[in-house]
A = this chain, B = another copy of it.
Amino acid sequence: MERRTWRIGTSMACLLAGSLLAIGTMPGKASASDGYDLWLAPAHEGAAVPDVQVIGDSQTLQLAATELRRNLTGAKLPVVLTKALNPALARLRLPTAELGTEGYLVRTVMIAGRSSLLITGNTDTGVLYGAFAAIRAQKTGADLTKLDLISAPRIKLRVLNHWDNLDGSVERGYAGQSLWDWWTLPDFKDPRYTDYARANASLGINAIVLNNVNASPLSLSADYIAKTGALAEVFRPWGIKVYLSVRFSAPIELGGLKTADPLDPEVQAWWKAKADEIYRTIPDFGGFLVKANSEGQPGPRDYQRSHADGANMLAAAVAPHNGIVMWRAFVYAETDPEDRAKQAWSEFKPLDGKFADNVLVQVKNGAIDFQPREPFHPLFGAMPKTPMMLELQITKEYLGFSTHLAYLGPLYTEVLEADTRAKGRGSTVAKVIDGSLEGSALTGIAGVANVGRDRDWSGSTFNQANWYAFARLAWDPSLSATDIGREWARQTFGNDPHVVDTVVSMMMESREAVVDYTGPLGLAHLMATGHHYGPGPWVNDLARPEWNPTYYHKADRGGIGFDRTRTGSNAVAQYAPQVARKLADPHTTPESELLWFHHLPWDWKMKSGQTLWHDLVAHYDRGVSTVARMQQNWDSIKDKVDAERWTKTASYLAIQHREARWWRDASLAYWMSVNGLPLPAGSPAPQHDLAWYKAQSFPLAPGQ
């Protein structure tokens, strides 16, 4: 019934374009989809239901069995689901020890004299993950009878951070209202909560922080604890724990105390009592996420205490319940004249070894703020005695919101593969956060969710790929962005090789296109005021210096770029010596990060042999032309993608192409006003003058 109504909607849209007959008779076209199914489109109606046997009794195993019955097709052998401790498996001598608490093994074995597809793990959740892995393998082309999958997650905490406010808005959210309808919780458990948990479980996400890091103290009130408890109940059988962001000053606002000083016994007692209260309702509550002394949020520094003091006080409150604290290192102060890129390192590095055992320090991939490209954060590798979590952004705050197509897999792998050199070559960020570098007991990775109430969850079909890629890398940070993209494309659009190749090629060039048209060669943070959408490299009138784009690019007649070498802020010195040496010299700095670390003359000679100005313009031009090519690619598979998803993506690509040009034109108009140089031959003049670009305003941009 669903599908039909939507089909009407879509076909009407097409009818209005005069092409109803064409649609109705198009061969090979998939039926309409509104994207709700994500990468989990069920098997065809009418496919034989496999024989799935569950040994053991738990909700989670039943869920796993249901998934297999709905999604596996053509299974000629029985499928057996059981935990590894089943004595019947003992004689098989399976390598289940290496699966840990969440890994799985999927293999064809003889059980009770019959060849069977065994799906097992040491826990119910491991078995569930195995079931999803088997389904994923089949959907991406594997032969069920030959499956031999063995996998355990390399990172323990695989977290989605919701920046969802209690009033239903989502900070930097571009996919509709918050999923959580706090008003009707805990009474009404929207089936969508279940579908959300299921989608996450299919990829191994095991932790969800429900609310914005800019947290309301009300989320800790008794009413909201009950509401959170209802969500925890929905998520539990899917192997997911809930966490809450907390406001450090809640003891004042909610508790009526006079202080939130972490060394004050009353404050400590308040948090302990609050934790006890939460755990009475939610025995497996995960713990707290904290943004403190950052962008106006309260924190321990308000009382001349350290971040460690603050984190440890909360850690003590949740420790008796095996809870953890994720403490963000995203701090910078307007009162601090130091290069913003240096401040987190300066503040946190001295605290290494001072955090309690159940604290993780959560560090963004780069030292500024989720730009389309940033060098890896110097804190990675710099705090060997502290478990470091990586925080990535899945929602595209600085990459075109919902409408621009930007596959973030390459952004994620770029940082994961970055070599900190902390303990010699190969000390990658991935090894820092998966604990293999220092043997950390606690490991974690977090992504800021791009999920809302939009029917397709993430605001566009391709945005779903970023959720998917984050989760897959959280399970195994050594996967390649291309492989993940291909895996996603096959489950999302089917196995037609031309479709898959086209989709993957679009994805793989998309993020670099955004870098090119918004901030090439290491430029960053060039957006206009009031939103993080359009260009504003000229902005220099904001109260805090480091909020102004001019702070970041420092362009003048003589050159462009932020000198972070010894002659400048010397931020390079925060990296390991081998890295610092390379970044201190513009000749050895990767050109993709050149202007992040160096202020260079416009006629600086690039590796291409051309001037910096020439190459800069070429990047902008390439950004626009890449989007045009993405449009052509998408057009080429029009008859192989359902009309609804095809049309929406095509509309969005048209927006992106227009706005890529806008970014390029506005940026170039400004750079030319600064450097007085002409455009290289063949590069078109901006469509408007600089004043026109400066006059654009978007008071109603979403996500604020």
**A699: Cβ under 8 A from any B Cβ:** yes
In whole angstroms, what is the CA distance A374 to B530 when docked?
45
Evaluate contact between B20 and A70: CB separation under 8 angstroms: no
Q: Chain B residue with minimal CB distance to A233? A: B16
Given contacts A9-B195, A37-B2, contact A15 B188 (CB under 8 A): no
B218 pairs with A166, CB closer than 8 A: no
Most B C-beta atoms less than 10 A away, residue of A1, A36, A189: A1
* CB atoms of B182 and A700 under 8 A apart: yes
Task: State the CA gap A63–B15 with chains docked (Å).
Answer: 9
Copies of this chain, whole number: 2
Q: How far is the CA of A8 from the CA of B238 in the complex (A)?
A: 13
A325-338 CB mask vs B (1 if < 8 Å, else 0) is 00000000000000
Task: Kindly state whether residue A587 has any CB partner on chain B within 8 Å.
Answer: no
> Nearest chain B CB to A47's CB is how many angstroms away?
12
Q: A192 within 8 Å of B by Cβ? A: yes
Q: Once the chains bind, are A3 and B1 in contact (CB under 8 Å)?
A: yes
Question: What separation, in Å, do the CA atoms of A34 and B701 have in the docked complex?
Answer: 30
Q: Is the CB of A195 within 8 A of B3?
A: no
A168, B15: Cβ atoms closer than 8 Å? no
B166 near A9 with CB under 8 A, answer: no
With the chains together, A1 CA to B194 CA distance in Å?
A: 16
Residue A413, interface by CB 8 Å: no
Check: A101 CB closer than 8 A to any chain B CB: no
Interface centre among A5, A6, A701 (most CB of B within 10 A): A5
A648/B167 in contact, CB under 8 A = no
Binary interface profile of A, 605-640, with partner B (CB < 8 Å = 1, else 0)? 000000000000000000000000000000000000
Given A2-B34, A3-B2, A700-B166, A655 contacting B188 (CB threshold 8 A) = yes
Assembled-state Cα–Cα distance A12/B62 (Å): 10
**A1 x B654 contact (CB < 8 A):** no
Question: Which residue of chain B has its CB nearest to the CB of A649?
Answer: B188
Q: How many residues of A contact B (CB 8 A)?
A: 64
Interface residues in A309-364 (C-beta closer than 8 Å to B) = none
Give which listed residue, B194, B218, B453, B701, contacts A9 with CB less than 8 A.
B194
Across the interface, do B15 and A6 meet the contact criterion of CB distance under 8 Å? no
Residues of B within 8 A of A36 (CB): 1-2, 5-6
Determine whether A73 belongs to the interface, using a CB cutoff of 8 Å to chain B.
no
Q: Given A8-B66, A453-B176, A183 and B15 touching (CB < 8 A)?
A: no
| B63 touching A702, Cβ below 8 Å | no
Chain B residue numbers with a CB within 8 Å of A189 are 13, 651
The answer for the CA separation of A1 and B44 in the assembled complex, in Å, is 9
| A4 within 8 A of partner (CB) | yes
A183 close to B37 (CB less than 8 A): no
Whole-angstrom distance between the Cβ of A203 and the nearest chain B Cβ:
16
Residues of B within 8 A of A194 (CB): 8-9, 12-13
Q: A192-B9, A453-B177 are in contact. Are A702 and B183 (CB under 8 A)?
A: yes
A241 contacts chain B at the CB level, 8 A cutoff: no
A667 to B402, CA, bound (A): 47
Which residues of B sit under 8 angstroms from A687, Cβ to Cβ?
A: none
Is A652 among interface residues, defined by CB-CB distance under 8 A? yes
| Least CB distance, A2 to chain B, in whole angstroms | 3
Contact across chains for A59 and B16 when beta carbons are under 8 A apart: yes
A52 to chain B, nearest CB (A): 14
B233, B401, B644: the one within 8 Å of A191 (CB): B644
A15 touches which one: B10, B37, B62 (CB < 8 A)?
B62
Residues of B within 8 A of A195 (CB): 5-6, 8-9
* Distance (whole angstroms) from the CB of A224 to the closest CB of chain B: 9
Q: List 18 A-B contacts (CB under 8 A).
A: A2-B34, A2-B37, A3-B3, A8-B66, A8-B194, A10-B191, A12-B63, A176-B177, A183-B701, A183-B702, A184-B652, A184-B655, A187-B652, A188-B651, A188-B655, A191-B644, A453-B453, A455-B455
User: With contacts A2-B2, A9-B192 known, what are 4 further pairs, Cβ within 8 A?
Assistant: A2-B6, A16-B59, A183-B401, A187-B655
